[in-house]
Amino acid sequence: MKAVVMAGGEGTRLRPMTSSMPKPLLPVANRPIMEHVLRLLKRHGLNETVVTVQFLASLVKNYFGDGEELGMELTYANEEKPLGTAGSVKNAEEALKDDTFLVISGDALTDFDLTDLIAF
Protein backbone atom coordinates (compact mmCIF):
# COMPACT_ATOMS: atom_id res chain seq x y z
CA MET A 1 0.00 0.00 0.00
CA LYS A 2 1.12 3.53 -0.79
CA ALA A 3 0.19 6.93 0.58
CA VAL A 4 -0.66 10.15 -1.20
CA VAL A 5 0.20 13.32 0.70
CA MET A 6 -1.49 16.41 -0.70
CA ALA A 7 0.88 19.35 -0.34
CA GLY A 8 -0.07 21.65 -3.21
CA GLY A 9 -2.53 24.11 -1.69
CA GLU A 10 -1.82 27.79 -1.19
CA GLY A 11 -2.90 27.98 2.46
CA THR A 12 -4.59 31.33 1.86
CA ARG A 13 -6.26 31.41 5.28
CA LEU A 14 -2.83 31.54 6.93
CA ARG A 15 -1.52 34.48 4.93
CA PRO A 16 0.86 36.21 5.32
CA MET A 17 2.70 33.21 6.83
CA THR A 18 2.05 31.18 3.67
CA SER A 19 2.90 33.90 1.15
CA SER A 20 6.42 32.57 0.77
CA MET A 21 6.14 29.13 2.40
CA PRO A 22 3.67 26.32 1.69
CA LYS A 23 1.49 25.40 4.66
CA PRO A 24 2.96 21.85 4.90
CA LEU A 25 6.36 23.45 5.63
CA LEU A 26 5.15 25.66 8.48
CA PRO A 27 6.83 24.52 11.71
CA VAL A 28 5.02 22.82 14.57
CA ALA A 29 7.18 21.58 17.45
CA ASN A 30 10.33 22.51 15.51
CA ARG A 31 9.44 20.41 12.44
CA PRO A 32 7.42 21.13 9.32
CA ILE A 33 3.81 19.98 9.62
CA MET A 34 4.33 17.57 6.73
CA GLU A 35 7.26 15.91 8.48
CA HIS A 36 4.87 14.95 11.29
CA VAL A 37 2.52 13.52 8.64
CA LEU A 38 5.30 11.53 6.97
CA ARG A 39 6.52 10.15 10.30
CA LEU A 40 2.95 9.04 11.08
CA LEU A 41 2.77 7.23 7.74
CA LYS A 42 6.12 5.54 8.36
CA ARG A 43 5.06 4.42 11.86
CA HIS A 44 2.15 2.62 10.24
CA GLY A 45 4.23 0.95 7.52
CA LEU A 46 3.46 3.35 4.68
CA ASN A 47 6.96 3.98 3.36
CA GLU A 48 6.16 4.63 -0.31
CA THR A 49 4.54 8.02 -0.69
CA VAL A 50 3.49 10.19 -3.60
CA VAL A 51 3.45 13.89 -2.68
CA THR A 52 1.20 16.11 -4.78
CA VAL A 53 2.64 19.60 -5.17
CA GLN A 54 1.74 22.84 -6.92
CA PHE A 55 2.15 26.07 -4.90
CA LEU A 56 5.87 26.67 -4.20
CA ALA A 57 6.49 23.03 -5.11
CA SER A 58 10.26 23.41 -5.25
CA LEU A 59 10.39 24.29 -1.54
CA VAL A 60 8.63 21.05 -0.58
CA LYS A 61 10.78 18.99 -2.95
CA ASN A 62 14.00 20.61 -1.78
CA TYR A 63 13.18 20.08 1.89
CA PHE A 64 12.11 16.43 1.72
CA GLY A 65 13.98 15.27 -1.39
CA ASP A 66 13.56 11.57 -2.09
CA GLY A 67 12.64 10.84 1.54
CA GLU A 68 15.82 8.94 2.34
CA GLU A 69 16.48 10.96 5.51
CA LEU A 70 13.12 9.79 6.86
CA GLY A 71 13.64 6.22 5.70
CA MET A 72 10.91 6.61 3.09
CA GLU A 73 10.56 6.65 -0.66
CA LEU A 74 9.03 9.91 -1.86
CA THR A 75 8.00 10.73 -5.40
CA TYR A 76 6.23 13.87 -6.55
CA ALA A 77 3.22 14.53 -8.75
CA ASN A 78 3.35 18.10 -10.05
CA GLU A 79 0.23 20.09 -10.87
CA GLU A 80 0.56 22.85 -13.44
CA LYS A 81 -2.49 24.55 -11.93
CA PRO A 82 -4.52 23.75 -8.79
CA LEU A 83 -6.66 20.66 -9.41
CA GLY A 84 -8.43 20.30 -6.06
CA THR A 85 -8.45 17.17 -3.92
CA ALA A 86 -9.80 14.66 -6.44
CA GLY A 87 -7.85 16.20 -9.32
CA SER A 88 -4.67 16.07 -7.30
CA VAL A 89 -5.09 12.35 -6.63
CA LYS A 90 -6.02 11.71 -10.28
CA ASN A 91 -2.86 13.56 -11.31
CA ALA A 92 -0.82 11.13 -9.17
CA GLU A 93 -2.42 8.11 -10.88
CA GLU A 94 0.64 7.07 -12.85
CA ALA A 95 2.82 6.92 -9.73
CA LEU A 96 0.19 4.85 -7.94
CA LYS A 97 -0.18 2.28 -10.72
CA ASP A 98 -2.71 -0.34 -9.60
CA ASP A 99 -1.74 -0.14 -5.94
CA THR A 100 -4.17 0.56 -3.12
CA PHE A 101 -3.46 3.86 -1.40
CA LEU A 102 -4.35 6.11 1.49
CA VAL A 103 -4.79 9.87 0.98
CA ILE A 104 -3.85 12.37 3.68
CA SER A 105 -3.38 16.11 3.72
CA GLY A 106 0.15 17.43 4.08
CA ASP A 107 -1.07 19.72 6.85
CA ALA A 108 -3.06 17.14 8.85
CA LEU A 109 -1.82 17.01 12.42
CA THR A 110 -3.17 13.78 13.86
CA ASP A 111 -2.15 10.66 15.71
CA PHE A 112 -4.93 8.60 14.14
CA ASP A 113 -4.28 4.86 14.12
CA LEU A 114 -3.74 4.33 10.41
CA THR A 115 -3.06 0.62 10.94
CA ASP A 116 -6.63 0.14 12.21
CA LEU A 117 -7.98 2.24 9.35
CA ILE A 118 -6.12 0.18 6.76
CA ALA A 119 -7.28 -3.08 8.38
CA PHE A 120 -10.89 -1.88 8.24
Note the pLDDT tens digit of each residue in 31-41: 999 999 999 99
What architecture does CATH give domain 2-119? Alpha-Beta Complex (3.90)
Query: What region does 97 belong to: left with phi over 0, alpha with psi -120 to 50, or beta?
Result: left
User: What 3-state class would DSSP assign to 62?
Assistant: helix
Note the pLDDT tens digit of each residue in 56-99: 999 999 999 999 999 999 999 999 988 888 999 999 999 998 88
Report residue 18's pLDDT band, with 50, 70 and 90 as the boundaries: confident
Average pLDDT value for the chain: 93
pTM flag (> 0.75): yes
Has residue 23 got a pLDDT over 90?
yes
Cα diameter, the chain: 40
Query: 96: which residues sit within 8 A by CB, 6+ positions away?
Result: 2, 4, 50
User: What 3-state class would DSSP assign to 4?
Assistant: strand
Q: Do residues 3 and 46 lie in contact, with contact meaning Cβ atoms separated by under 8 Å? A: yes
Instruction: Return the domain boundaries, the chain.
Output: 2-119
